[in-house]
A and B are shown apart, each in its own frame.
Chain A
Amino acid sequence: MGKDISSNTKSLSMIVTKGSLDWAYPPFILATTAAAMGLRVSMFFTFYGLTLLKKKLDLNVTTLGNPAMAMPMFGMHIAMPNIISAIPGVDAAASAMMKGLMKKKGIASIEELRSMALESDVEMIACQMTMDMFEYTMDDMIEGPVLGGAATYIETATKSDINLFI
């Protein structure tokens, strides 16, 4: 990292394993906030989490198998039965609805949080094994992340005050 880090600077490391719209939020919210609070932050993107580094994001949420996902509709909260969730178009509608709610409620987009994280020197590591398995190249990804593997993460984790698996 380019910045001068004193030895008592607190640090946060995260393993980001999920790439859906809802699961994309916790790591980016925590990364940007921790950086704003003066922590050194490192994010390791693996499996579906790796897709959050793609240049063009098309994030979706699924109601399938998620009984806790009750959306505010018609003045109440409605959860989707699995048999309805499986109908083509339902996930797209639920995703559009969640994005609409986020906009209305002044919630940042993942793209915004991601670029704020990069601006505040959050280190991003793309898992080489996942890149290879899903056949991505660094050309598919935004500028900023570097390639690494498990040993890179473990070294970071041994020096971090907080380690999260998301």
Chain B
Amino acid sequence: MADQLLDVKGLNCPLPILRAKKALKDVPIGGTLLVLATDPGAVKDFEAFCRTTGNELVESKSEDKVFSFVIKHMA
């Protein structure tokens, strides 16, 4: 289970990324953030976001039109 939850369902680009970046500030290094989104573009965007920022995308899956991402706060 992730340490914190961020629900950005219904929000469009770039808000899921911007909200996730903000939420990660409150997650201790090594902790995880679970993001729930409905924006299909978020799948590639969270991969790019994590690669660029050095955070770890531990999990990325979709279920019932909801995309969930688990990000481990590394940097």
Contacts and interface: CB of A to CB of B under 8 A. Distances in A.
Nearest to B8: A106
A29 B39 CA distance: 15
Given A37-B49, A37-B52, A106 B12 contact: yes
B66 interface: no
A106 B17 contact: no
B49 A29 contact: no
Contacts, number: 32
B69 to A, nearest CB: 15
Of the candidates B14, B21, B48, B53, the one having the most CB atoms from chain A within 10 angstroms of its own CB is B14
Interface residues of B, number: 14
A107 B17 contact: no
A38 B14 contact: no
Contacts of A36: 14, 17-18, 21, 49
A36 B11 CA distance: 17
A36 B20 CA distance: 9
| Closest 3 pairs (CB-CB, A-B) | A36-B21, A106-B11, A33-B14
Interface of A: 29, 32-33, 36-38, 105-108, 116
Given A29-B13, A37-B48, 15 more contacts: A32-B14, A33-B14, A33-B18, A36-B14, A36-B17, A37-B49, A37-B52, A37-B53, A38-B53, A105-B12, A106-B10, A106-B12, A106-B39, A108-B14, A116-B18
